[in-house]
Structure 1
Amino acid sequence: MIKSMLKLLGLSAAGLAAYLVVTKHDPKEFANSVYSSTKDKINGVSNVLDQKNKLTANISKLQDEVSKSKPTIEAMQKDIDEYQFKINPHVDLINQRINNITK
C-alpha cells in the first residue's frame, strides 16, 4: 500500500513538473497562485457560511414575528367580516337601485 502511494506521489510530481515546463511557469509563482486561489476559495466558503447563518437567524426572527402578529391578523379579519355583514344590506340595496335605473 505504501509503495502504491509513493508511486502515485511520484507520478503526480512528474506530472506537475511536466506541466510547469510546458507552460513555462516558475514553480514559486505557481505555488503562490495555487495558495492565493485556495485561500480565496476558503474565504468565499466562509463568507457563504456566514451569510447562511445570518439568513437562518433572520428566517427564525421572521417566523417569530409572524406568530406574534397572528392574533392581530385574526382580529382584523373578524372586524372585516363584521363590517361586511353590516354593509351587505346597503350594498344590495344600492345594486338593486342601479339595476332599476339601467333597465
Structure 2
Amino acid sequence: MGISRFIGGLTLATGVGLAAYLTLTKQDPITWAKHLKEQAKHTAAKVSEAQSAQERLTESVQKLGAAVDASTPALEDIQKDIEKFQFKIAPRVAVIQETLDRWEQD
C-alpha cells in the first residue's frame, strides 16, 4: 500500500500546487487549460515541421550524393584534358620563361 499512498500524495501535492499557482497568478483554470492546450498544439506542430525538415534534408543529402557520384566521370575527363593541355603547352611556357629570364639578366 506504500506506492498507492505515494501516488495519492503526489497527486494531491500537484493539485494543491496548481491551485496555488492559479490563485497567485490570478488565472482562470479554464483559460489556463485552453492556453496549455494551444501551447501543446503549437509544440506538436513545430515538432512535425522539424521532422518534415529533417526528412527533406535527408532526401537532399541523398540527391547530392547521387549527383556527386554521377559527376565523377565528367570531373575525371576534365582532369585528363587539363593534363593534356599542360603537356602541350609546357614547351611554350618553358620558352616564355627562358625569354623572361634573359630579359631579367639584361
TM range (shorter): over 0.9
Match of 1:88 in 2: 90
Offset at 1:98?
1.1
Kindly report which structure 2 residues correspond to 1:40-51, keeping only aligned pairs within 5 A, or say none.
Answer: 40-51=42-53
C-alpha deviation, 1:3, in angstroms: 2.0
TM-score normalised according to structure 2 size? 0.93
Matched, 1:76 2:78: yes
Displacement of 1:17 after TM fit?
0.1
User: What is the SS of the residue equivalent to 2:14?
Assistant: helix
In structure 2, distance between residues paired with 1:2 and 1:90 = 94
Query: What RMSD in Å do the two structures reach over aligned CA positions?
Result: 0.8
Candidates 24, 29, 32, aligned match of 1:30: 32
Alignment match of 2:99 (pick from 91, 97, 100): 97
Deviation (angstroms), 1:101: 1.2
Question: What's the counterpart of residue 55 of structure 1?
Answer: 57
Give the number of aligned pairs: 103
5+ unaligned residues in a row in structure 2: which ranges? Answer: none
Q: Which runs of 4+ in 1 moved over 3 A?
A: none
Measured in 2, the distance between the counterparts of 1:92 and 1:39 equals 73
Deviation at 1:2, TM superposition (A): 2.1
Query: Which consecutive unaligned segments of at least 5 residues does structure 1 have?
Result: none
* Counterparts of 1:52 and 1:9, CA distance in 2: 38
